[in-house]
Each structure stands twice: as structure tokens, then as C-alpha cells.
A and B are shown apart, each in its own frame.
Chain A
Amino acid sequence: MNEQISTPGASLEFEKTYRDHYTFVWRTVRRLGVPPEEVDDVVQDVFMVVHRRLPEFEGRSSLNTWLFGIAYRVIRDHRRKVAARQRREQLASGARPPTEPDRKLSRRQAAHVLDELLATLDDDQREVMVMADVMNISAPEIAEITGAKLNTVYSRLRLARKAFERALAEFRAREGGDLPWMS
């Protein structure tokens, strides 16, 4: 398992895990609201943890679910630190919201639209909807990852979908119903 290659600590199994699942982790990090300029750093943070913990993986869940659990915790940790940093920066100079030209530009891409809609949900709802509807993780597995009860997961998912649909309807009303991803 720990066959060494050119880099200390980088086993062949770790490299395979990285190459097979890089896109999955990258997508998870993107959809869970990490700003684009910080995605690379957070993805690497996830794989640093994976590298340390891969020998503990017992196959009790799929590797994707296990990876998602790690990404979920790394992102939460990251979010807390960013929030603390932003609070400090706001105290120093005041908040600066995204500029309108940037927002208009981003709307042309489906990924940005999805992220904009997901951003209307609170963190718990966003996480459960991303897991269930974007990453196709089952409700029991979501319960295991988040530590929430299964009924809570279903309840959050129901509320998340409602809020998402509401945001989507508002978006379509604003954009005149011309949705690029439906053409």
C-alpha cells in the first residue's frame, strides 16, 4: 500500500486516488461555495488529509463518499477561517460586494448560475442539496457524513429544493426565461 515513488509519502495508491478523484473533489469544493480563487488551495488541503488518512480507509463506504466527508470537513473549517478573516477585514475597511458587471458576466455560464442559486441557501441546506442532487450521494450516507439524523437530512433537502426552485423562478423572471442550459 505504501510503495514509495518519487516523492516522500506519495504512495502509488495515493496517486491513483488523486488522479481518479481529482475532478470529483474539485467539483465538490466548487459547489460547496469556495470562491474560485481559493479552490486549488482547498482541493490540495483535502488531498493532504486524504494522504494522511488513506491507510485508514476500510471500504465501509465508497471512496467518493469517504472523500466527500473529508472535503465537507475541510470546507467547513475553511469557511470558518474565511468568515473570521472577513470580519477582521470588514472592521478595517468595510465590506465590498461583487460588482454588477462581474455578476452580469457570470450569468452567461451555467456553473455560475447554479452557484448563484445555491448561494441563496443557508449552509446546511446547500450542503445537503449539493450532496444529494449534484454529487448523487444517498440520504443515509449524507446522514453519516454530516452526523445529522436521516429525517433531518430529508427535511433539509426538502427545504433546500423549495428554496432553490424559488430562486430559480426568480432568476428566470429576471432573465426573461431565456435559459442557456435549456436551449
Chain B
Amino acid sequence: MDELSEAAKSLIEQVNREDLPAADQAEQSWGVLQTRLTQEAAPEAEPTPGAAVQPPTQHGQGVQRWTGVAVLTLALGAAGALAWLLVQRPPRAGDPAARDTAPVVATPRPPPVSATAAPSPERQRVPAAPEDPAALLKQAEAAIGAGDGATALTALERHAEIAPVDPQRDLRMVLRIEALCSIGRKDHAKAEARAFATGQPAAALADRVTRSCAAD
């Protein structure tokens, strides 16, 4: 297999390192996503058949957000929100024409996140996975020890994303082979062990591979 040139690898690594969503993008998108989930669950906002994988509308998020805010507001049935709804005259939930109403797209709007992500006392924040490469490898090793190969693979893939040329890359490969073994993916483990062997790995790491299912 022809390898990529150093220039190509360097470009890809830089993009993986630097091309990230804006800091608040995930949070904003989460608000919209919750609205869509609510919309899907609400009886008056029954989606059209086959709309589970919804194509993006030509109007982008704007219409989705407006429609979503209206649906959520109606679903909650809060009197204050209803009054606001009447004043603002957003599109009616469930109205098939609402999505294509041009004035809605053109009207400036406040971001919907505050409405959809209203503070909830019982809401729990879920911590994200560690972003430190060493911590990810430790997490993977612990997961393999606990027999949770899928979690280990996820941690190792995150490691590969944020530290593709990490000095611990060989260890990452070994852990990946062990993780694949732990979830019964022997063929994959063997294929990766063959790739690993071509890289002149340290003896201690090579030993670990020979003790794995990839050597069977």
C-alpha cells in the first residue's frame, strides 16, 4: 500500500488538530436537536413518513429552529410562553406550510437555545471523554482490563485523532489489537497485527501482540 507523502500527512494532521467546531456550536446544536426530538415525540408534530433521517431544508436551521421553538412552547403549554407565542406569531406546529413560509426565514430571531435548553434542576451534565493522549491510553488499557473493548476502541480512536503521531503510537496499536481481540474481532486484530509488525516495534510491545488473539 502506497503511503501518503509527509506533506499530505502534515496537512491532514494540521486539519485534524485545528479544524474544530466553534466553542459553542455543540451546545447550540444540542438545543436544536432537543427541539427536534421533542417535535418528533409530540403528537401534534408527527413527522412525515420516512422523515427520521430528515434532509436539511433549503432554509437551513432557521426554519427548523423556529418551528422547533413553536412546537416546544405548545407542548409545554405554559401560559407565559403561549402569550409570547401569540405576540410573535411564529408558525403553527404541525402546519405543513409553516416550514416554507418565507417571512419566517426573513424575520430576525433570538437564538433558540435558551428556550430549548431551559435550566432544569434535574438536568445532569455529562462529562466529556478525556482529551489528554496519555489519559486516553490509560482509559483504553483500563477498559481492556475490564473486558470493555468497545470503550477501549473509542478511546484509542480519539487518541489517534488528537495525537496521530504520538510517540505512544505503537502502544496505541497494541492496545487496539487487544481491544479487537476482546470484542471477538480476531480477523481485524490479525490484520492490524500485520500492519503493526511492519513498523519495527519495540520488543516488549511485539511480545504483547504475540500473546494476543492475533497470534493464534
Interface residues of A (CB under 8 A from B): 5-10, 12, 15-16, 18-20, 22-24, 26-27, 30, 37-38, 40-45, 47-49, 51-52, 59-65, 73-74, 77-78, 81, 85, 110-111, 113-114, 117, 133-141, 154, 157-158, 161-162, 164-165, 168, 172, 179, 181-182
Contacts and interface: CB of A to CB of B under 8 A. Distances in A.
B124 interface: yes
Interface string B142-154: 0000001111111
Contact of B11 (A45, A64, A114): A114
Q: Which 10 A-B pairs have the closest CB atoms?
A: A62-B153, A41-B56, A59-B150, A111-B19, A136-B160, A6-B120, A16-B126, A8-B41, A64-B157, A22-B26
A107 B57 CA distance: 29
Interface in B1-37: 1-5, 7-12, 14-16, 18-21, 25-26, 29-30, 32-34, 36-37
A136 B1 contact: no
Contact of A65 (B34, B64, B153, B161): B153
A6 B123 contact: yes
Given A140-B187, A162-B2, A134 B52 contact: no
Given A22-B26, A40-B29, A165-B8, A5 B54 contact: no
A41 B60 contact: yes
Interface residues of B, number: 69
Contacts of A8: 37-38, 41
Contacts of A158: 1-2
B216 interface: no
B60 to A, nearest CB: 6
Interface of B: 1-5, 7-12, 14-16, 18-21, 25-26, 29-30, 32-34, 36-38, 40-41, 52-58, 60-61, 64, 118, 120, 122-124, 126, 128-129, 148-154, 156-158, 160-161, 164, 179, 183-185, 187-188, 191-192
A64 B55 contact: no
Contacts of A62: 150, 152-154, 156-157, 179
Contacts of A23: 20-21, 26
B41 to A, nearest CB: 4
* Most chain B CB inside 10 Å of its own CB: which residue of A48, A52, A62, A65: A62
Contacts of B185: 60-61, 140
A170 to B, nearest CB: 13
Given A64-B158, A158-B2, A182-B7, A37 B60 contact: yes
9 contacts: A5-B123, A16-B126, A20-B128, A24-B158, A43-B29, A48-B36, A61-B183, A111-B19, A168-B8
* Most chain B CB inside 10 Å of its own CB: which residue of A41, A117, A135, A182: A41
